[in-house]
Structure 1
Amino acid sequence: MPNVITHSLFTDFDIDLFKAGKHYKLYEKLGAHLVEVNGVKGVYFAVWAPTAQSVSVVGDFNYWTQGEHLLQVRWDSSGIWEGFIPNLAKGSIYKYKIQSNINGVVTEKADPFSLYCEKPPHTASVVWDLDYNWKDTKWMETRQENNSLDKPYSVYEVHLGSWKRADNNRFLTYLELADDLVNYVKETGFTHVEFMPVMEYPYDPSWGYQLVGYFAPTSRFGKPQDFMVLVDKLHQAGIGVILDWVPSHFPDDAHGLGFFDGSHLYEHPDRRKGYHPDWKSLVFNYGRNEVRAFLISNAVFWLSQYHADGLRVDAVASMLYLDYSRKDGEWEPNIYGGNENLETISFLKEFNEVIYANFDGVQTIAEESTSFPMVSRPTFAGGLGFGMKWMMGWMHDTLEYFQKDSIYRKYHQNDLTFSMTYAFTENFMLPFSHDEVVYGKQSIANKMTGDEWQKFANLRLLYGYMFTHPGTKLLFMGSEFGQSDEWNFEKSLDWHLLQYDYHKGIKQTITDLNQLYKNNPALYEKQFSGEGFEWINYSDHQNAVLSYIRKGNDEKENLVVVCNFTPVVRENYRIGIPKKGKLKEIFNTDSSLYGGSGITNSGTLKVDSSPYDGRDYSIELTLPPLSVTVYSIA
């Protein structure tokens, strides 16, 4: 029997779709597949390498010998090399040795479509399958109800390697996380987790944002099926799963996608478009059909094969602009003379169209930090088609405000109110992400001003303001209990802090805010619409107080929110109310349960007929120090 048998999984239609950039399930064809040919079990290999002169599969089964198992190039000019190696089994370790017809360059590459990779620092691919018996049918059938834009969306952002470590600083496995992490997220009430990239990456300090194995969950924490167990358990607990996805750039590691077959295959050949100066990485050629099909197939793969509920697309701003982080002379304008990357815009629109057309109840979320218009608007209306966009301006302005001593805050009220001038131009997610707690920026808790009591009161106030502000929410791990130190990816979060009352109080605040958010439709039904928000008074900068109404579909469920951004107790503080009735305090960040001073508005509070704030009715409240108080209206 020959070393390699002629065999193909491709039809002519597959090839036509691939060439056109419209094949969105390439993972079913390219890569390594356990199959049976003429009664013989083995592995079918297929790899795209159009400038190759020869392609060998090398591995532990042939002593890594080039030429022992040669693939054959297809006749159809697709550039695909393929073949069946009999008697090869699951778990076999392999790479592709590619001799280019360009100056005879030889590259040795991991499989771009590998389902499983060797544990870093090893770099080979592993023959694997995705056989798994999913138990999340209930979640998948009802996902659209839990994951739509008019539902609560409170996201816990997690770096799997440093959320918690075992003894001797060992990584927790996917299976261990399927118990510990799932129970914790359920306890604290988050509706979703977002995993920083789980796709295989060679370099730990990249936090996963320099991907090599786009179709393989990292083997640092276990096997592919083990990651499926983690997703499955989260779904069974009613928790959605968002994956960070990085189509913006990739590293130039020797075994990766760069210079794959001796040519610029995946990266743009023009360095002005194909190299990222900030990250010293390579940028995909979004104008090449086969590359677009690779990336969109990858997005489809994680949503279909791993049941992900959404993709948070990293570094979208770097993709959209030809001059991003480039000096004059280092970039070339588009055909209209502008700085927009037209190929990227076209790609992102197609990506979103494919995802929303093929998956019910999923969301795509853009990390996009500029004023690029209509990022989260449908493509048919001229938008990019994302479901949500990170509200980076709100995040920067809010954190800057909270770092100011309270005595100066009356001069900076606009830092808070400005967000409402553009809050409904996009479907915004409010992010306090990992980027805000590294590189000397301090933890969220240590950004807060004042003595110890005020720091924690300010932190509770910050989170209360965040959860009552329009938009969905994202909080990086550790922030929910007031992690003191900056995030360090090389060790566990400081879980020992939960023995201290102030830190326990922050965790309880977040837990109760999550319940407040989920239990009150006024906070989510119109979270992306101006109809869901109404100022009561935004101009009381002298007292540094903001008051507003959050609205849902039923006005009987509306909520009144009052924020006091100073440590001064405001007694007999009057605000205007739109109608007669009664108010009842349902949430207070100053509760003694959280470590606050315990000043509350107890009982039922009657609205009187005194006009105020331009309204016919008003009410007097006691505003606790550095607090958010929330009231139902009856």
Structure 2
Amino acid sequence: MVTSTTMDHDIYLFHQGNLRYAYQLLGAHMEQQNGQDGVRFTVWAPNAVKVNVVGTFNDWDGRQHPMEKLNENGLWSTFIPDLQKGTIYKYEILTPHGHLQLKADPYAFSSEIRPNTASVLHPLGHYEWNDQSWMNQRKETNLYESPISIYELHLGSWKNIEPEVFYTYREYADMVIPYVKELGYTHIELLPITEHPFDRSWGYQATGYYAVTSRYGTPDDFKYFVDQCHQNGLGVILDWVPGHFCKDQHGLRRFDGEPLYEYSDPMKAEKSQWGTLTFDFGRNEVQSFLMSNAIYWLKEYHLDGLRVDAVASMLYLSFGKEDGEWQPNEYGGSENLEAVSFIKKMNEAIFEEVPNVLMMAEESTSWPLVSAPTYVGGLGFNYKWNMGWMNDMLKYMEMDPIHRKYHHNLITFSLFYAFSENFVLPISHDEVVHGKKSLLNKMPGDYWQKFASLRAFLAYMYAHPGKKLLFMGSEFGQFDEWKDLEDLDWELLNFEAHASTKQYMSDLHKLYKDHPALWEMDHKEEGFEWVDPNNYEQSIVSFIRNSRADDQLVVICNFTPVVYHDYKVGVPTEGVYEEIFTSDAVQFGGSGQMNEMPLHTTSIPWQGQGQHVTMTIPPLGVSFLKRTSLLEEDKS
């Protein structure tokens, strides 16, 4: 409950842009006043002439429950007795232009099921969590030196009852969690589940920033989903969209009759390529709204991180615009200085309030120090999506192998900047939709070569420095690109190639998690060393991954369908090496060109290393070697 003393202080912080828990001040809250149970409604509408609370409880008659203006900065509030959980309501706002408009509560915790648009009264704090063990463990985890492999998930098209008829969060928990756990992922990342009016926006055009979408159930249902993930050892990340919002009449657009949450300057407000509006990052109350919203999801729903969408669209005034459609900042540049300042302030607040969470920026440009702390000039995120690696590798993998030797730099270039940020390697929903084809179907060649190339690509991805993210369906070789109104093609698992690909992902994750060399030093140069990056003629690269305990893996990747016998590979230490994993194993659908016998080093330098082994290189395959013992003659 907010007392009068704390309320005055919170109001001050709200208007200063520094209120980190604005959702406790604004919105609809069940509390007691003068010994009477009821609901306190508070809304920010500085341009409104009058604001009333309307709903089913008063037959939508605004005259019955007018709100009182608390201050000149536009906060309105009222207390209505005897309202119950589930009450449906909106704000009736008389604009300066004399129009009456109905608006959903920007701070509502729940909403009606589309196409209805009213807010629904739902108190926070009544759910009993059972994830204390996970939350305690999270405090002690070093995120940078831990394995992170993320399963990107769109609930409604992972599996549904029929198109646009969905299961509940609780039902999804019972289906999704065992599946993702069996595959070996460490985290689930959900496409936005904030309330949104249009299914096919996938949640990226929201109206209710504090409301978990009612498509799949209630706030408590979603808390159950997160709780069950944590009890099963899975973290949960939410795709979060502070860059823009949709223009639907019941939402934030011209909330009190004038631009309020959006910029008043159309050049800054309009995101024409998406048909949305940009938040006014320079307005203090909007900063409190967004900063509190990020903290809300992390605190109230125990989420383990946020993937922040379209950061580049926030950073640049010129994003997606032609000359003449934007104006430079006061220094003549294209940077949105207000957004830059807000992003830094937001990240500082988040890590003070909720330490050890993931703040991942989808930032598609070369903006420096995205994942560096603000005190060294960074934006304050702790991870950045590596869009450059993604674009280069997908371009490379789509080529016929015969042409790959002319574009060898696409494999190697990412290592020039791999340690400039804390990177996530993403193969997201954006890469398997709108005619881009599924990850499997991007691969050239015949049926066998497509699956072999997919396995090789995934093995290379998991061996490359950086945390991992893969969109649903790729784990079993979905042939069709993502169909957002249907569910995944689960029937494919009845076919051997797809079933073995799913098993491959499970085994690849086991390899990944069992070997610290593949994740412990992801963000340090000493965690990676080239053996041979230059063999473009055969489209083969080899490298070493290191751990802090000097536990090394040698990785050899062949991106052509040619088998090479008696191939020399430089290795760092003499001894006996074993092939501990190959993407070409028969059980995965491979050709079985394996190195089943131990590989003894020869003390002749090769490829910059002091010794080498001679091995078979599988077609369109990746091999992982590990030294398992000293040379036989050195054993005592």
Give TM-score, length-normalised by structure 1: 0.97
Post-superposition shift, 1:330? Answer: 1.1
1:618 aligns with 2:620: no
2-structure distance, mates of 1:125, 1:380: 40
Residue 241 of structure 1 pairs with residue 236 of structure 2: yes
| Whole-Å separation in 1 of the counterparts to 2:282 and 2:184 | 43
Say whether residues 1:585 and 2:584 are aligned partners: no
Aligned to 1:38, which of 34, 39, 58?
A: 34
* C-alpha separation in 2, matches of 1:606 and 1:274: 65
| Residue in structure 2 matched with residue 566 of structure 1 by the alignment | 560
Change in Cα spacing, 1:539 to 1:281, as seen in structure 2 (3 Å) is: same
Partner residue in 2 for 1:597: 591
Could you tell me which amino acid in structure 1 is paired with residue 58 of structure 2?
Answer: N
Counterpart for residue 534 of structure 2: 539
Offset, 1:604: 2.0
SS in structure 2 opposite 1:170? coil
1:137-163 per-position Cα deviation (integer Å, ceiling 9, x unaligned): 000000134561110010000001110
Give the counterpart letter for 1:115 in structure 2: F
Q: Identify the residue that residue 182 of structure 2 maps to in structure 1.
A: 187
Asked if 1:306 is matched to 2:305, the reply is no
Q: Does 1:549 align with 2:541?
A: no
* Residues 145 and 633 of structure 1: CA distance in aligned 2, closer, same or farther (over 3 Å): farther
- The question of 1:517 aligning with 2:548 is answered no
Partner Cα separation in structure 1 for residue 421 and residue 139 of structure 2: 21
2:110 to 88, 106, 116: 116
**8 Å contact from structure 1 (residues 95, 124) kept in 2:** yes
Q: What amino acid sits opposite 1:588 in the alignment?
A: T
Alpha-carbon offset, residue 7 of structure 1:
9.5
Pair 1:99 & 2:94 matched: yes
Asked if 1 retains the 8 angstrom alpha-carbon contact of 2:156 and 2:164, the reply is no
How far does residue 77 in structure 1 lie from its aligned partner after superposition?
A: 2.2
Q: Distance in 1 between matches of 2:355 and 2:248?
A: 36
Residue 82 of structure 2 corresponds to residue 65 of structure 1: no
Aligned partners of 1:70, 1:280: CA distance in 2, in Å? 34
Deviations 1:385-416 (A, max 9, x none): 11111111111110111111111111111111
Classify the secondary structure of the residue corresponding to 2:616.
strand
Change (3 A) 1:577 1:180: same
Does structure 1 retain, via aligned residues, the 8 Å contact 2:574–2:611?
Answer: yes
Worse overlay, 389-398 or 103-112: 103-112
Partner of 1:206: 201
Contact 2:452 2:590 in 1 (8 A): yes
Q: Deviation at 1:167?
A: 5.6
Match of 2:46 in 1: 50
| 8 Å CA contact 1:147, 1:240 repeated in 2 | no
**1:16-415 aligned within 5 A:** 16-74=12-70, 76-100=71-95, 102-130=96-124, 131-146=126-141, 148-166=143-161, 170-415=165-410
Structure 2 residue matching 1:587: 3-state secondary structure:
strand
Contact 1:117/1:200 (CA < 8 Å) preserved in 2? yes
Secondary structure of the residue that 2:625 maps to in structure 1? strand
CA RMSD after TM alignment: 1.3
Identity of aligned residues (%): 52
Deviates more, 1:498-507 or 1:533-542: 498-507
Q: Is the 8 A contact 1:578 1:617 kept in 2?
A: yes
Write the deviation string for residues 324-371 of structure 1: whole angstroms up to 9, x where unpaired.
111111111111111111001001101111111121220100001111
- Kept in 1: contact 2:163–2:485 (CA 8 A): no
**CA deviation after TM superposition for structure 1 residue 169, in Å:** 6.5
The letter of the residue matching 2:307 is R
Letter aligned with residue 591 of structure 2: S
Q: CA deviation at 1:35?
A: 1.0
Tell me the amino acid that sits aligned with residue 584 of structure 2: D
User: How much has 1:129 moved relative to structure 2?
Assistant: 1.2
Cα contact 2:544–2:554 (8 A) shared by 1: yes
Give the distance between the partners of 2:487 and 2:5, measured in 1 at CA.
45
Distance of 1:168 and 1:562 partners within structure 2: 44
* 2-structure distance, mates of 1:515, 1:356: 31
Worse-matched range after superposition: 408-417 or 302-311: 408-417
- In structure 2, give the amino acid aligned to 1:591: A
| SS of residue in 2 equivalent to 1:55 | strand
Letter of the 2:17 counterpart: G
Distance in 2, Cα, partners of 1:443 & 1:166: 23
Instruction: Name the residue aligned to 2:7.
Output: 11
Conserved? CA contact 1:106–1:262, under 8 Å: no
Q: Partners in 2 of 1:150 and 1:278 — Cα distance?
A: 39
* 1:456-475 equivalences in 2 (<5 Å): 456-475=451-470
Q: In the TM superposition, what is the alpha-carbon distance from 1:524 to its structure 2 partner?
A: 0.7
Residue 161 of structure 1: SS of its match in structure 2? helix
* 1:423 counterpart = 2:409: no
SS of residue in 1 equivalent to 2:279: coil
Distance 2:97 2:3 in 1: 29
| Cα shift at 1:616 | 2.2
> In structure 1, how many angstroms separate the alpha carbons of the residues matched to 2:498 and 2:262?
47
CA distance in 1: counterparts of 2:185 and 2:116, whole angstroms: 36
CA shift, 1:51, in A, is: 1.1
Q: For residues 505 and 45 of structure 1, what CA distance do their matches in structure 2 show?
A: 56
Alignment match of 2:624 (pick from 603, 617, 630): 630
Q: Which residue of 2 aligns with 1:434?
A: 429
**Is the 8 Å Cα contact of residues 163 and 486 (structure 2) preserved in structure 1?**
no
Q: Within 1, Cα distance between the matches of 2:603 and 2:287?
A: 63
- Compared with structure 1, are the counterparts of its residues 478 and 61 closer, same or farther at alpha carbon in structure 2 (3 Å cutoff)? same
Q: How far does the alpha carbon of each residue in 1:44-89 deviate from its partner, in whole angstroms, 9 at most, with x for none? A: 1000011111101010011111221101010x32311001101111
Offset, 1:311: 0.3
Kept in 2: contact 1:571–1:623 (CA 8 A)? yes
One-letter code of the match for 2:393?
T
* Unaligned stretches of 5+ residues in structure 2: 629-636
Counterpart amino acid of 1:71? M
Number of residue-to-residue matches in the alignment: 626
Q: What residue number does 2:601 align with?
A: 607
Tell me the amino acid that sits aligned with residue 584 of structure 1.
E
The answer as to whether partners of 2:54 and 2:89 remain within 8 angstroms in 1 is: yes
Cα distance in 2 between the residues matched to 1:328 and 1:361: 41
Deviation digits for residues 293-346 of structure 1 (CA, Å, limit 9, x no counterpart): 000000000000000000000000111111111111111111111111100100
Contact map agreement 1:15 1:78 (CA 8 A) in 2: no
Contact 1:565 1:625 in 2 (8 A): yes
CA contact (8 A) 1:316 1:367 kept: yes
Distance across 1 between alignment mates of 2:4 and 2:91: 17
